[in-house]
Each structure stands twice: as structure tokens, then as C-alpha cells.
Amino acid sequence: MRDLGAGFGHLLKGQRWVARHGRSYGFGLVPGLITFVLYVGVLIALALWGDDFVAWATPFADGWSSPWLGLFRGFLTVVLFALALLLAVLTFTAVTLLVGQPFYDELSERVDRDVSPDGTAPESDLPLWRDLWISGRDSLRILVRAAVWGVLLFALGFIPVVGQTAIPVIGFFVTGFFLTEELAAVALQRRGVELRERLALLRSRRMLVWGFGTPLGLAFLVPLVAVFLMPGAVAGATLLARELLGEETRDGDHPADGAPDDGGPGDSAVSSGPAPTH
């Protein structure tokens, strides 16, 4: 239970960090807004023409009598839209991180420098195109895993009582796990931690991961909230990655009086705050 609170604490600390670095927060909104507009467009199209797609995909039901034809295709249309929403929640973070990879890498480095006792941050030795390729490849692998879980939970959802109570709760924890992996990958990839190692790290501290990712996944269900929480989520996931790796971290929540705000993605970070706490 202590790890659950610690995970949620990292989420809050990440939001506080970007609140103290307003210009970085503003830049961090851009990738999320772009992705949000694209997703909304797809969901609107699905809402308008989803029933036509279902009718096209089920020609065998054309001869069914009323009301069975309407009930059958109506049910499939609702299922299709629900799956699209689930897929949107699971993939929003990956797509946003891919769109904003250069900025989020810089944002994560700034957090590392700010909370590191020596004011340094690990840097990737790979060129940008290689980092983008690895990020996209790993995101696809995570998406496949998440899709398998999604199909399994959807099937289990038809079990009476359990399917309407326990299964949705499990689904939120699964979503939280994969959200955390995607966000922590920004900091862990810079450190050369491969996907298999990342997953092993996250599984070793599941309660910590759930404390961070599950409330974030619930918040992401609210339209536009994901856009505004993304910069802070990346910052918080960097702090979580440091804990997973056992790196010494000082409390950066309370900057020294008069410490200047950052000037955007290209400026140097200012390390401030009290002495190391652990």
C-alpha cells in the first residue's frame, strides 16, 4: 500500500514540476493537442458512419426480421465505439509521445537535472532518428500486448456479475500499467534500458506503477484532460524511473526563493531545492 501512495505522489510531483516551469508546460501541450484533434476526428467519423460500417461488415444479417436486425447491429455499433474509445485511451500516450519525442526527451532531461544531487542527466548517445525508431517500435509492441489484454477483458466482460464489477477494475489497472510503461520509457530509453528490462522493472514494483498509472488512466477518460496532464505525467514518470533504478533523488518540489523559471525546451535547467532526502 505504501508503494501505491508513492506512485501517486510521483504523479503529483510531476504536475507540480511543470506548474513551476510554465513555458515548458506550454510547449508540452502542443503534441497532445495535435493528437487529441486527430483522435476526436476519428471518433466523430465513427459515431457518424459506424452503423454503416457494421451493416457493410454483416451482410449475412440483411434478411433478419425486426427487431432482431436492429438490436444485433445496434449492439455491434456500440461495441465498436467502445473498443475505439479503449484503443484511444491505450494509444493516446504512445502517439503523443511519438509526436512530441524531441520535446519530451528534453523535458525529462530537465527534470533529471533538477532533482539529481549533482545536477546532471543521462543522455542518449543515439541520433534522433534512431531514438524515434526505437520508441515507435517499442510502442507498437506495447500496443499489441495491450490489445491482447483488451480482447481478453472484453470477452470476460460477458460473465454475469463478475464481468460488470471486477473486470472493469482489472481493466483500469492494466491500462495504468501500460500507460506508465509508455511514459517511463522516455527516461528509461535515454538510459539504454531495453523494453524487456523496462517491463521487468515495472513488474517488480507493480503497486508503485499502479499508484502512478491507474489514476492517470482514469483521468485520461475525461476529454481534454489527457492533453493538459501529459507534460506533468512525463515529469512524474521520470521521477518514478529514478526510483525504479535506485537513483538518488533530491526533493525538487520547493525551489529556492527567486529561482527563475525555465525559458523553454532549449535553455538550461536550474537545480534548486533542499538537500537530498534519500
Quick one: pLDDT at residue 260? 42
Whether 91 maps to a domain, the answer reads no
Question: Which of these, 1, 17, 8, lies nearest to 269 by C-alpha position?
Answer: 17
Q: How far from each other are the two terminal CA atoms of the chain, in whole angstroms?
A: 20
- Counting every residue written for the chain, the total comes to 278
Tens of pLDDT along 68-84? 888 888 888 888 888 78
Quick one: pLDDT at residue 28? 77
Quick one: pLDDT at residue 8? 94
Task: Print burial letters for 114-153: b (CB count within 10 Å at least 16), e (below 16).
Answer: bbbeeeebbeeeeeeeebeebbeebbeebbebbeebbeeb
Whether 235 maps to a domain, the answer reads yes
Whether 227 maps to a domain, the answer reads yes
Tens of pLDDT along 191-235? 989 999 999 999 999 999 999 999 998 888 776 788 899 899 999
Tens of pLDDT along 85-96? 777 776 787 788
Whether 175 maps to a domain, the answer reads yes
168: left (phi over 0), alpha (psi -120 to 50) or beta: alpha
| Cell, residue 235 | 515529469
Quick one: pLDDT at residue 136? 80
Whether 79 maps to a domain, the answer reads no
10-residue averages of pLDDT along the chain (278 residues)? 89 93 79 87 87 85 82 84 77 80 86 88 77 81 84 81 82 90 91 91 94 91 82 94 89 45 42 37
Whether 189 maps to a domain, the answer reads yes
Quick one: pLDDT at residue 52? 86
Quick one: pLDDT at residue 252? 54
Sole residue written with cell 526533493? 251
Sole residue written with cell 505525467? 233
Contact of 119 with 59, CB cutoff 8 Å: no
Question: Which of these, 183, 212, 240, 231, lies nearest to 21 by C-alpha position?
Answer: 231
Quick one: pLDDT at residue 148? 87
Whether 131 maps to a domain, the answer reads yes
Domain containing 119 equals 2-32+101-244
Whether 22 maps to a domain, the answer reads yes
What pTM was computed for the model?
0.74
Contact of 258 with 270, CB cutoff 8 Å: no
- Domain tally for the chain? 1
Which phi and psi (to 5°) does residue 136 adopt?
Answer: -65, -40
